[in-house]
Amino acid sequence: DIQMTQSPSSLSASVGDRVTITCRASQSITSHLNWYQQKPGKAPELLIYAASSLESGVPSRFSGSGSGTDFTLTISSLHPEDIATYYCQQSYSTPYTFGQGTKLEIK
């Protein structure tokens, strides 16, 4: 199975900050990487697919980059409603494993 490792596990930032979350795969997954946002008590939502494509309806302050084994999710200017846990997921091969999550809090 491909292991996905996110860092940091938790993050505290101020409104307006630029926030970066990283995700590393245990082997190359080319660009088969998705990012999801999960707010407390809610189902996850797709944010970024194919490493860098923004899902329809997602604010443009979210962006993704990377290929191979190293990927990043960036929020260019943190909004209060971005408080959530973020997960990466590889869709290169089954099982489609997730990272352990990054919990983002407001400072």
Residues that bind other proteins (CB under 8 A): 1, 31-32, 34, 36, 38, 43-46, 49-50, 53, 55, 87, 89, 91, 94-101
Angle at Cα 72 formed by Cα 71 and Cα 74, nearest 5°?
Answer: 160
Residue number with CB closer to other proteins (17 or 24):
24
Distance CA 32, CA 12 (A): 28
Shortest Å, Cβ 70 to other proteins:
18
Distance CA 86, CA 96 (A): 16
Residue number with CB closer to other proteins (31 or 76):
31
Residue number with CB closer to other proteins (22 or 31):
31
Classify the C-alpha dihedral 44-47-51-56 as positive or negative: positive
Shortest Å, Cβ 40 to other proteins:
11
